[in-house]
Amino acid sequence: MAQESRQPPTLEIEGARLRPLREGDAGALYEYLRDPAVTELTSYPEVTTALVEALIAKSIRRWHEGDLSRWAVARGDDDRLIGTCGFNDSSPAHRWAEVAFELSRAHWGKGLMGRAATAAIGWAFEHDRVDRVQAYTRVDNFRSQRLLERLGFLREGRLRSFRICRGRPHDFYVYGLLRSDWIGARVAGERGDAVRHR
Ligand SMILES: CC(C)(COP(=O)(O)OP(=O)(O)OC[C@H]1O[C@@H](n2cnc3c(N)ncnc32)[C@H](O)[C@@H]1OP(=O)(O)O)[C@@H](O)C(=O)NCCC(=O)NCCS
């Protein structure tokens, strides 16, 4: 297994960086995930310190095993965790990965996740890890849908009662982005190219 797959690279973006999640992020992750506005349109289960620690441990383990997983989105000035972005699930055999993201509410509406998701997805395509990135979003999660569509994702269908959110089944849209879509959007200049690799 390539050494680079054991830990994700740090990717600098305007105002923040994507870096490996670490155990010390648990407090900051718990603090913003506890805000009901962050999880209300997602399938997150009840947010507890145990859940947060398990999420971080899972991300560290998946990268270590060579799978794609999430990065921490950390503030550029003090490196504090303000979100996560990356991949929940992937199939190396079929060359797809499922992208997922969330941000502390204080940082919404500044284009930050657009830059973070661009960096994460671009890295996965450029390092030849996937040919397709997909996303599932609740049909009433309009912020997430706007973000995906701005990134060039195509809405491919509606999955009825796909996930249980706080005890109730919800319909989700499935979105897909192919390598060819990504390259096409870049060529069309729809996306910045401001990611620096460390
Ligand atoms: C979904 C979520 C990650 C979006 O984060 P975000 O950083 O606000 O998203 P974007 O990067 O798309 O920025 C959004 C807004 O910033 C504005 N913005 C400000 N400056 C900008 C810039 N320089 N570039 C781009 N957009 C900018 C945009 O106009 C955009 O407004 P709009 O959403 O009304 O169109 C965030 O709302 C969130 O954490 N939600 C809760 C968790 C969740 O639902 N996750 C997804 C589960 S599928």
101 Cβ inside 6 Å of ligand 1: yes
We report the CATH number of the domain holding residue 21 as 3.40.630.30
pLDDT for res 5: 55
Question: Running DSSP on this structure, what letter comes out for residue 178?
Answer: E
Which residues constitute the domain of residue 98? 3-197
41 Cβ inside 6 Å of ligand 1: yes
Whose alpha carbon is nearest atom 42 of ligand 1? Answer: 102
**How far apart, in whole angstroms, are the C-alpha atoms of residue 73 and residue 162?**
28
Query: Cα of 92 to ligand 1 centre, how many Å?
Result: 29
DSSP one-letter string for 107-136: GTTSSHHHHHHHHHHHHHHHTTS-SEEEEE
pLDDT for res 186: 73
The angle, 0 to 180 degrees and rounded to 10, between the axes of the packed helices 112-126 and 142-150 is 50
pLDDT for res 193: 53
H-type alpha helices, 133-178? 142-150
Tell me how far apart the terminal alpha carbons of the chain are, to the nearest angstrom.
Answer: 20
Q: Report the residue among 34, 102, 115, 173 best suited for mutation to probe ligand 1: largest number of ligand atoms under 8 A from its CB.
A: 102
Q: pTM for this one?
A: 0.92
**How far apart, in whole angstroms, are the C-alpha atoms of residue 13 and residue 73?**
10
Query: Cα of 110 to ligand 1 centre, how many Å?
Result: 6
pLDDT for res 113: 98
Work out how many domains the chain is built from and give that number: 1
Q: Average pLDDT by consecutive 10-residue portion of the chain (198 residues)? A: 71 98 98 97 95 97 96 97 97 97 97 98 96 98 97 97 96 97 74 50
pLDDT for res 197: 44
Pairing of strands 132-138, 96-103: parallel
The sign one gets for the Cα dihedral 53, 60, 153, 192 is: positive
DSSP one-letter string for 35-64: SHHHHTTS------HHHHHHHHHHHHHHHH
**How far apart, in whole angstroms, are the C-alpha atoms of residue 90 and residue 135?**
11
